[in-house]
């Protein structure tokens, strides 16, 4: 997804917010893939925090993060909820 106000292609907070606010399924796919690769990583954490805002895609990504975290082996490291932050 080409971001109107961004000059890079990384998953910064601004880029993720733009994807959640005005992205389409094809725009969501790379973000979903990044979350599935590392469900407790930086991209997933930024996305989780942004899902607290009333953004168009937020409900979908709440479910994506929860599913990825339930399937993650890291979940057995003391994580109580699939939407909890990264385990220490």
Give the model confidence (pLDDT) of 50-77 as tens digits. Answer: 999 999 999 999 999 999 999 998 766 5
Read off the pLDDT of each residue in 5-13 and give the average, rounded to a whole number: 71
| Nearest to 40, CA basis, from 80, 4, 2 | 80
Is 88 inside any structural domain?
no
Q: 73: how many CB neighbours lie within 10 A of its CB?
A: 6
Structurally, the chain folds into a number of domains equal to 1
Each residue of 44-57: pLDDT tens digit?
A: 999 999 999 999 99
Is 1 inside any structural domain?
no
Q: Is the pLDDT of residue 78 over 90?
A: no
Is 27 inside any structural domain?
yes
Is 78 inside any structural domain?
no
Is 39 inside any structural domain?
yes
Enclosing domain of residue 46: 13-73
Q: Is the pLDDT of residue 27 over 60?
A: yes
């Amino acid at each position: 997804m080409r971001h109107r106000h961004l000059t890079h292609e990384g998953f910064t907070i601004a880029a993720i917010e733009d994807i959640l606010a005005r992205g389409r399924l094809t725009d969501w796919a790379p973000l979903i893939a990044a979350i599935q690769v590392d469900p407790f990583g930086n991209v997933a954490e930024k996305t989780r925090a942004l899902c607290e805002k009333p953004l168009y895609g937020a409900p979908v990504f709440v479910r994506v993060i929860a599913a990825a975290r339930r399937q993650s082996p890291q979940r057995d490291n003391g994580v109580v909820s699939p939407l909890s932050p990264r385990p220490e």
